[in-house]
Structure 1
């Protein structure tokens, strides 16, 4: 199958999942009522459900998945580790610490400032991780172990902060295991603007990423500064991961899976890898959200549970292949 048809296949799959999100749910409504609620603005209950709950949730899950897919591609390019994942490596946990502090009442902020704080804390952790990546003779397995340890630390801190503030357990689950139940249009606007800027910068830097993937020595010989390029990429990872955590909490393995599937479908050239990871990340996340939302409806499962079922076996498989 040629590349255009693969893109079309992913696009059609995404449209199908969007339709599932629109037309399936706990509300007892007919097909006609649902279509009318989408296209006709009125004061009906179904119109409110559509435009205040279902559509924002779909949009936020798509953008969050794209953020994680792009972040995963960038972290795997920068670290040259096939096990790279922004949430698994603790970057999402950094953002979660800030949200936990706000939820526990330690910080009194709302809206944009929580969003900015999530990004700031995630960037701090990503810069720390970039220093680990810069360490000489750090194998992919060692990097993965250090990243997972860092991730466990950040999640533990965020959980402790939430517990101190006596926050409801549903909020704890939504933060550490992922949930799009509280999605709204404001969240979507912040996230889609962030994704657009970071994707543009990533495509602009894609020519520099090719030498980085081949090693620091070759990068320098080709006139590419590996340290500054890697640092820029990791800052982008922090920004993207912070945005995704703000929108849906910590959702593991999307950043790990998306680049590997993108390589299979579109090859390892950075620009194709980046675009493929963005699309596949969105597809994986909206699929996981629909599974979490519908499988035991009206009770919802954490989104991260669905992604972990897919991602954990894949990580074990990749770890066994690394020598």
Structure 2
């Protein structure tokens, strides 16, 4: 990636960031204001800035704001995890959902909930990390390496996904009395998330996102191919290994809090690359920003699908991501025929 080409993309990058921050700001205000009792924008701003101990302030600060922050953190984490996976595998279909990471994390979290019910939310994060690694490695070995055709990756990923998901459902079926609350979580939900969940997510998200941004140049080289990356001085094996660890951290922590929310890591990086190009120094920050934007607005939409009841946010992302996944799979399959 030449410096001249990078400079030509900088205005588009800055404009994309500006648009993203505007969308995120208004989405945050709208997310916090809407609910079973609507709160005006003026009251939301007042509740965020002043401690007046009114009912509106308590609703905003104790219920809706932490839920919105969870959506922002998870959206950023899943989008960046998807972008990293697409770089280290050089495959447009790679993302935590298709690569078995979400299903693996879900399986181990459910098993831990059944076998070790005394585990705290913070401890469940480590179970999610273990499961995420399990799912990712299974797909990797079935695909016989990272540089595989999109259709082959999709088949391997969906096979592992359905296998691990069936095991999860079997655990739930045979432990109905202890897994009632898990069923809603398995669709991907952030309802009733509070400041404790923010505290669980925040350190892992900060560390994972910061490390991804630092390694963005290496991911750009890796996305061009192993030979080109080595020719440019890149450490291919180390970058791929560290990238895999970052995917596990970002996707695993997200699944432990909100369940397997799908397709964010597939949809956002592709849209971002259309706007800012393929340089990961631009792709990763914009993916984090627009991943947050997607989940903020998806959370709003989830409140009205079955109004007055709330629906899992995973339903909204699946409605958006499934057609896009089928389009990419069809396009990739035709390209490799």
Does TM, scored on the shorter chain, surpass 0.5?
yes
The verdict on how the C-alpha distance between 1:136 and 1:74 changes in structure 2, with shifts beyond 3 A counting, is: closer
Q: What residue in structure 1 maps to residue 314 of structure 2?
A: 304
Match of 1:277 in 2: 287
For residue 66 of structure 2, what is the aligned residue in structure 1? 56
**What CA RMSD, in Å, does the superposition of the two structures yield over aligned residues?**
2.3
Change (3 A) 1:78 1:136: closer
Counterpart in the other structure of 2:3: none
How far is the alpha carbon of 1:192 from its aligned partner? 2.1
Of 17, 21, 24 in structure 2, the residue corresponding to residue 11 of structure 1 is: 21
- Following TM superposition, by how much is the alpha carbon of 1:220 offset from its aligned partner in structure 2, in angstroms? 3.0
- 1:270 deviates by 1.3
Matched, 1:97 2:107: yes
**Structure 1 ranges of 4+ moved more than 6 A:** none
Q: Report the equivalent of 1:47.
A: 57
Q: Distance in 1 between matches of 2:213 and 2:47?
A: 38
2:84–2:247 CA contact under 8 A, matched in 1? yes
Query: Residue 264 of structure 1 aligns with which residue?
Result: 274
Q: 3-state SS of the aligned residue for 2:215?
A: helix
Partner in structure 2 of residue 166 of structure 1: 176
Give CA-to-partner distance per residue, 1:103-154, whole Å, 9 cap, x none: 3354420131112221232133334444456627731210121011111222
1:291 and 2:271 are equivalent in the alignment: no
TM-score by length of 2: 0.87
- Partner of residue 117, structure 1: 127
Contact 1:101 1:107 in 2 (8 A): no
CA contact (8 A) 1:258 1:280 kept: yes
**Cα 1:261/1:39, change in 2 over 3 Å:** same
Instruction: Measure the CA separation in 1 of the matches of 2:312 and 2:179.
Output: 12
Give the distance between the partners of 1:106 and 1:63, measured in 2 at CA: 27
- Structure 2: how far apart are the matches of 1:320 and 1:40? 52
Report what 2:4 is aligned to: none
State which of 57, 82, 86 in structure 2 corresponds to 1:76.
86
2:76–2:292 CA contact under 8 A, matched in 1: yes
2:114–2:178 CA contact under 8 A, matched in 1? no
Task: Answer yes or no: is 1:197 the counterpart of 2:207.
Answer: yes
Q: Distance in 1 between matches of 2:135 and 2:267?
A: 21
**Matched ranges for 1:123-202 at <5 A:** 123-132=133-142, 135=145, 138-167=148-177, 171-202=181-212
How far the C-alpha of 1:275 sits from its partner, in A, is 1.0
2:222 equivalent in structure 1 = 212
The aligned residue for residue 234 of structure 1 is: 244
What secondary structure is seen at the aligned counterpart in 1 of 2:330? helix
Q: Counterpart in 1 of 2:96? A: 86
When structure 1 is superposed on structure 2, of 3-12 and 293-302 the one drifting more is 293-302
Measure the CA separation in 1 of the matches of 2:177 and 2:214. 42
Query: Which sits farther off after the overlay, 214-223 or 27-36?
Result: 27-36
Q: Map Cα deviations across residues 245-289 of structure 1 (whole Å, 9 max, x no partner).
A: 122111111000010011011110011111111111111111111
Give the distance between the partners of 1:104 and 1:190, measured in 2 at CA. 21
Q: Which 10-residue stretch deviates more, 272-281 or 137-146?
A: 137-146
**Offset of residue 2 of structure 1:** 3.2
Q: Is the 8 A contact 1:120 1:239 kept in 2?
A: no
Deviation at 1:28, TM superposition (A): 5.6
CA contact (8 A) 1:174 1:248 kept: no
Deviates more, 1:267-276 or 1:91-100: 91-100
Please report how far the alpha carbon of residue 298 of structure 1 lies from its aligned counterpart in structure 2 after TM superposition.
2.6
Tell me, yes or no, if the aligned pair for 2:108 and 2:130 is still in contact at 8 Å: no
User: Larger deviation: 301-310 or 204-213?
Assistant: 204-213
